[in-house]
Every structure is written in structure tokens, then in C-alpha cells.
Chain A
């Protein structure tokens, strides 16, 4: 504490000095709270957001995405493009050049060897690297000279900004991690807890799943930054108490991702100690329609596979009617407030890839009923539930356990009831639902239900990999141990052909057109996926913390070097 009080004293002194220039460490101490606690500071061994974001203060990639999704060079001197010659004409190589004179926090120079090593570290077959998909397309990474790195792809890569780009793929120091390749990766506790980095802060002490104490990196490239001398990064608890600590008690300066009911946040803001900030990315809460029959009467190897088409939902008119009956604006109001907006798109952003489609926004119960009549679903026995050929229009609707999702289930069940659709609701603990255990009947991949709801997004700004999930054959099935990402079991040769075209197209404008077309094929053409809410992120910072720019395309702490204290 002596150091801390000394620094606080120094900060007070600096505040007295009039017109003092900004200086490293002049603003004392900052407290950050994440209600999920970081477990490890090596993003390659954990896909968790908490781990990626906390480590982003310490280790950095070559380039990041800014708040608009544009590419910004960090360790690289510029972003390579086809125009400036950094990306080859045939899209098979990308050449990065490091800024000159960069130092690691231990004072040794950063060289292209470190970048090459980082690729080797993640691509090692026994390492269990969480970011391996970023390196999937990579053939080899080579150092041309001390500052130049060339990444060679196996095939033309229209989006070459995967490895070394964004918070998921920072550069590790070769000297520190050299002994940690492959199976040894998880035994390197010291390295994983105290990575040496180029970022604005260095780790003083890391208590896993609890707290990180950091101080300013003496070798950071900008001598005036960071403004804060020390950081306490506290983890754990729940979103409500994190919000309370910033907005009501003022004990903390920044709270991440306040997933709380809108009225709770409003009430907290009355505390007057801080304010909330919101930004939108690509996270979409959606209903997924099962195109295959999940009935338990079917044999296990056929149930919920493409061999058994869904008896009700195979008809696009039913799917469309279900979508028309939903009032998305009301859903936003009850569930997300300022952190949500209605959407009809699977890819809601960036603007280049987002379809202008807004057909689904207004609720149309009459239209939905007419559509069901047309599809042959009528209420013949007068019990309020439509039927056809002796089969009732009754659906099982599942999602993960979460207060907002259960509210959505109740509302949607009521609307579907109004158009004569009976709904049975089910919720499953998130760790089981998203767990991917092939032995469990309750995973979202197995989809032993008619409709399910969850949210998903994509990394970075390019939706190619995201849209490729719905390729024919990529569906979860018994032969793939129920792994696969085409949750709806969607299959359309035309869609696959368009995906192949996207993979060959480098021109951004053309890519946008194709991506919009693909998105519409899944949403407004077929209602395979029924998007509900474009979910933003709400974080909070205290009134005395300046420089916060909320970013949903990269780590929220991407510009922590620019944060400063506002004098009251």
C-alpha cells in the first residue's frame, strides 16, 4: 500500500501543477471490475471473453478493430492491403511490418521471430489452442527480416486479417514461451499468469479467478501513456453488484457488460456516481427453426437428422407465420432497453454486410393466421389449437436458463397462442445447453426440440466463416458425434454455391452483396433463422474516468492506454 499511497500523492501533486503535460502514471490508480473473473492471461489457452479482455491490457496483436470495425495498426506500422502491396494480388500471402524500436516490457526488442513463434505455438497439434480457427487457413509463417513477417495461406484468402489481428490473437514473447509448446502448454503456469507483453500495463500479481494487480509498462511505446500508474482488475460476482460498485457506491471506475434488466440499470444510474455506455456489434438473439423431426418415436440414428424432415416446420409458411406473430419492439423493451434493437438479420453489422431488410419488424397477427389457414392448418375441433390431418400445431420451444430468455419465452408463447399455436416451454442450464456433450439429449446442437433460442455472433468484421456454418453437411449428426454448426440442418445447393463464390471474391463491395444475399436466404426467404434482437453491450464507467470508447469488435479494453482521470 505504501507504493500506492506514494503514487496517489504523486497524482495529487501532478494535479496541483498547472498545465502539466500528460505524463505516464500521473493519474494514479484505476479500478476495473469484470463480473466474470479471469482465470488465465493467455488467450490461446482459453476462449473466454474475460481472459481475452484482461490479457489485452498486457499483450497486443499486430492490429485491432476500432469501435466502427475498421482496422487499426497496433504493433504493425500499417495495415497491409492489396492497394499498398501488403496483400498479394492472388490473396495467398499477407506481409506485416512491425513498428521500429518496439520493446517488450522486460526491455528486450520485439522482432519478427516472436510473431513466427506465436503462430508455431498456436498451430502445434497437441497444444489445444483455443484460437486455432484463426490459423486454419495458414500454410506457414516466415520472418523475412527482423521487422517483416509473411503469412502464406493454403488457398486464396479474401479476408487475410485472421492471425495476429484482434484481442484473440496477440503476440507472445518467444523467449518466455519457448518451453511451452504443445503438451507442455498447460504446465507453464508462470508464463500463462505473467505473460511479458508490449501493452500499456504489466502484471504485478495475478490471483486466478480473483484479481490482477498491474502497473504501467515502463517500456510502452508512447512515453506519455498510460496515464494510470496502477490498475486493480477485480473479477467475480454478478452483473448487478458490478454495476452497483460503479454507479452507486463509486468503489470501481469501470464495469464490463452489465447484462441486467433495463429498469435495474436505470435505477442504478440514479446513484449519480457514473454513467452507462452502449455499443452494438454482431450479437443476435434469434429463434432457430428445426427443419428435421426431433420426435422421440424415431430411432436414435434418424431422430433430428436430415433423413426425417420436420412434419410441421418443413413448410416455410408456418415458419413465416411464427415470425410474423412476434412483436420485436416489445421484446427489446422488456429484455434489453438501450442495449437492444429489433432486427431481421442474422448479420446485423458492419454496414457493408448488413441487409436493409426490415420486413419482420411490425407484428401482424392477422397475416400470420391467414398464412396458417393457407398452409392447411385450421382449428377443426374448436379447442383453440390449429390442426391438420389429425396432428396438432404444437411446438416444443427450448433455450438456456436466463431471466431475460424466460421472459421472451413467455411473451412469444402468448403471441403464438393468439394465432392458434400451442407451445411447450423448456429451459436448460447454460453449461449443459451449450456444453456440446454428445451423450446429453439437451444440447443446442442435438436440437431435440422444434424451436430454440440463443444468441451468437462472429469474430472480427468478416461474416464469411459465420455464414459458412449453414453449409449442407455441416449439421450436427450422429456420425459427427453431434458436432457441427448448421443447427437448423439447412441444406440448399444454391446457398453452398454462393458460399464458394464468396470464398473466391476479394473485392469488398462484391463480398458485401454476396453476404447480404446469403443472409437473406437464411432469414427473409426461408425463415430458417428468425432473428429477434440485435444485442448491444452496456458497460458503465465512473464520472471521473475519461477516454472510454466502447468497442464491440475487439476487446473492450482496447484503448486502455488512452484512459485518464477527469479532475472533479
Chain B
């Protein structure tokens, strides 16, 4: 197992390097100009000077090399400095955003908690809703519950979040009276700090709408996997054996079948984790949650290449990493699988 993990980690290096080059090339080839949002009243010569100040005049390969050095050499030093209070990175040029002229990683660290809170909670809520629905739907296949579950998960899966999000805002923020218990804010207050129980209550309320929108979507997906996996196992010979031994129905389903059915579901859940970090781009936009997805969209609109490059690369790292974790988990959960 250890050698397998190490081998995979080594293979990840060229994979990530290749994806960094692809991302960089795509961004270079894409049309657009970081000065496009500057008003037309600013004359072209001034815009040209502003572009040069951003380092846009340099040859492409030098821009890429600079980014590599800044991301892999200088940023880790900044991290070490922050943890141990050293000063390795002092005076060195970090990856700077073109929009804000400030270090990209600082903004990423600032945005990460919101994304983890909102999108992470919705992922957890989604899993908690999805597993029981999937299990029961499979156990009572074609029952009314199963049909209803199938219908709801189809709706959740196929209706886009920009629709459900706005729908919930219209119902719970616009039409609901402000004094009502069921009124929820439509705009996420990113300055809110949880320092008391009432503040925690407000945090729950403002997270409610975005979390519900995303949980519906996640639950729909995972419950379908859970159901299919349960169905596969329910017809297996070992289930018949267990029943023949005289085991109770609850033990047969909840211990024997569920354990085996969870193996592929855990993999699917692990593979979905990078999406949590990636933020739910659309939902964050609808509710103004200042997470990573919100940051990425803003950076794309403003042609802030260093920001887009860094964010997409971080997502690439996470995807590679969680693929590895899913593979390793699979080996741990299922003793039939051997990697060595």
C-alpha cells in the first residue's frame, strides 16, 4: 500500500506540471484584456503603461517561469514564515493578483473558510439526507417511497441551482414577511462573526438558503448511487445465506448489505470533495457568499490571469489528491482489493 501511494504521488508531479502548462496556455490563448474594465475615458497610452506595470510586456515563457517560481518556491516560504515566524520570504515577489495588486494566496486563504462552511455543510447535509433515502428506496424498490424519491432526486439533479436559488429567495426573502420565523436573508453577510449563541443563530439562518439549494443537488446525486449499489448487493447470494441463517432483517440490511454497498459510495463521496473546495460557483454568486467560486468568477470576468491560474491549479492539485485518497480508501474498505 505504501509503495503504491508513493508511486502515485510521484506520477502526480508530471501530471500536475502538465496541467499547469495547459492551464497557462489556455489562459494565454483566450481572448481578453485585464484593462477591458477600465473606462474608455482612460486613454490608450495610459492603459498600455498600466499593462506594462502588471508585467504583461514580458515574453510568455518568462511569465510562466515566474509564476512557477513564485507558486512553488516563494509561497511555501511565506507559509513557513507564517507558521514559525521566520522571514525567508521577506522582500520576495509573491503571486500578485492583477485586480487587487495583492498576493493571491492571501485572498484565497481569506475566502476558504466561507466556502468550507457553506459548501462543506451542504455536502454533509446532502450525504446525511441521501444515505437513508438511498437505502430505503432500494430495500422497498418500486414502492411509493422509491417512486417519490426517484422523482425528487431527478428534480434536484436536473433543475439548475441558479433557478432553485432565486426561487427560494423569492419565497423566503421577498414574499415572506420580515418578522416571520421563516424569513431568511438573501445576501450572505460576510462580515458576520460568530461570538455568541444569537450570532450563531444568525449564521445558521444566513447559511440556510444556500445550503439547502446545494444539499438538494448533492443529495440527489448521492442517493442515486446509494440506491443502485444497495440493489446490486441485495440480490447477492450472501444475503440469501444470511437470511437463511435466521438473521433479523435489520441486521441483514444494515450490517451485511449496507457495509458492502458503501464501498463504491465512499469512493464517489471522496471524489466529490474537491468540488467542495472549488465552491459552488453559481450558488455562491446567487447568494453573494464570498467563497472561492465567487472569487474565480470575478477573476475570470476581470481577466485576472494570475488569480485564475493559481485557483485552477489548486483545484487540479485537490482533484489529483482526492483521486488518490479514494483509491487508497477503496483498498482499506475492501479487503479483496490488493495494490501490491
Q: Which residue, of B33, B106, B185, B199, has the highest number of chain A Cβ atoms within 10 A?
A: B33
Name which of A364-372, A452-460, A513-521 contacts chain B: A452-460
Q: Which residue of A is nearest B298, CB measured?
A: A209
Residues of B close to A126: CB separation below 8 A = 53
The answer to the question of A403 belonging to the interface, with a C-beta cut-off of 8 Å to chain B, is: no
Q: How far is the CA of A126 from the CA of B50 in the complex (A)?
A: 9
* A239-295, CB < 8 A from B: 241, 244-245, 248-252, 271
Q: Which residue of A is nearest B48, CB measured?
A: A483
Residues of A close to B45: CB separation below 8 A = 132, 483
What distance in Å separates the Cβ of B104 from its nearest Cβ neighbour in chain A?
10
B residues touching A (Cβ–Cβ < 8 Å)? 31-33, 35-54, 93, 96-97, 99-103, 106-107, 110-111, 169, 173-174, 178, 185-187, 189-193, 195-196, 199, 285-286, 288, 290, 294-295, 298, 301-303
Instruction: Select which of B38, B173, B295 is within 8 A of A47 by beta carbon.
Output: B38
Q: Are B52 and A128 in contact (CB under 8 A)?
A: yes
Q: Are A435 and B53 in contact (CB under 8 A)?
A: no
Q: Which residue of B is nearest A435, CB measured?
A: B33
What distance in Å separates the Cβ of A19 from its nearest Cβ neighbour in chain B?
30
Pull 9 A–B residue pairs with CB atoms less than 8 Å apart, ordered by A. Answer: A130-B38, A186-B101, A187-B96, A209-B294, A210-B111, A241-B288, A245-B187, A251-B187, A431-B301
What distance in Å separates the Cβ of B44 from its nearest Cβ neighbour in chain A?
4
Q: What per-residue 1/0 map shows which CB atoms of A424-456 lie under 8 Å from chain B? A: 000001111011110010100100000000101
Q: Are B42 and A211 in contact (CB under 8 A)?
A: no
Residues of A close to B54: CB separation below 8 A = 128, 186
Q: Are B295 and A209 in contact (CB under 8 A)?
A: yes
> How many of chain A's residues touch chain B, expressed as a range?
35 or more
Q: How far is the CA of A193 from the CA of B126 in the complex (A)?
A: 38
What distance in Å separates the Cβ of B61 from its nearest Cβ neighbour in chain A?
18
Q: Are B195 and A1 in contact (CB under 8 A)?
A: yes
Residues of A close to B187: CB separation below 8 A = 33, 234, 237, 241, 245, 251-252
What distance in Å separates the Cβ of A413 from its nearest Cβ neighbour in chain B?
25
Q: Which residue of B is nearest A205, CB measured?
A: B191
Residues of A close to B96: CB separation below 8 A = 186-187
Q: Which residue of B is nearest A245, CB measured?
A: B187
Q: Are A39 and B185 in contact (CB under 8 A)?
A: no
**Nearest 5 interchain pairs by C-beta:** A128-B53, A435-B33, A47-B38, A189-B102, A483-B44
A residues touching B (Cβ–Cβ < 8 Å)? 1-2, 33, 37, 39-40, 45-49, 125-133, 183, 185-189, 192-193, 205, 207-211, 213, 232, 234, 236-237, 241, 244-245, 248-252, 271, 429-432, 434-437, 440, 442, 445, 454, 456-459, 483-485
Residues of B close to A483: CB separation below 8 A = 44-45, 48
Q: How far is the CA of A454 from the CA of B298 in the complex (A)?
A: 23
Residues of A close to B99: CB separation below 8 A = 39-40, 46, 208-209
Q: Are B47 and A432 in contact (CB under 8 A)?
A: no
Q: How far is the CA of A367 from the CA of B31 in the complex (A)?
A: 43
Q: Are A128 and B174 in contact (CB under 8 A)?
A: no
What distance in Å separates the Cβ of A48 from its nearest Cβ neighbour in chain B?
6
Residues of A close to B103: CB separation below 8 A = 189
Residues of B close to A192: CB separation below 8 A = 100-102
Q: Which residue of A is nearest B46, CB measured?
A: A132
Known: A192-B101, A236-B298, A437-B31. 18 other contacts (CB 8 A): A1-B199, A39-B99, A45-B101, A48-B37, A48-B39, A49-B39, A186-B96, A188-B101, A189-B103, A208-B97, A208-B100, A209-B100, A213-B191, A236-B290, A244-B186, A435-B31, A440-B31, A483-B48
Residues of B close to A445: CB separation below 8 A = 44
Residues of A close to B173: CB separation below 8 A = 249, 251
What distance in Å separates the Cβ of A363 from its nearest Cβ neighbour in chain B?
29
Q: Are A457 and B290 in contact (CB under 8 A)?
A: no
Known contacts: A1-B199, A45-B101. The answer to whether A208 contacts B185 by CB under 8 A is: no
Q: Are A185 and B298 in contact (CB under 8 A)?
A: no
What distance in Å separates the Cβ of A6 from its nearest Cβ neighbour in chain B?
13
Q: Which residue, of B46, B52, B54, B97, has the highest number of chain A Cβ atoms within 10 A?
A: B46
Residues of A close to B110: CB separation below 8 A = 207
Known contacts: A39-B99, A248-B174, A458-B41. The answer to whether A241 contacts B186 by CB under 8 A is: yes
Q: Which residue, of B32, B45, B100, B102, has the highest number of chain A Cβ atoms within 10 A?
A: B100
Q: Are A249 and B290 in contact (CB under 8 A)?
A: no
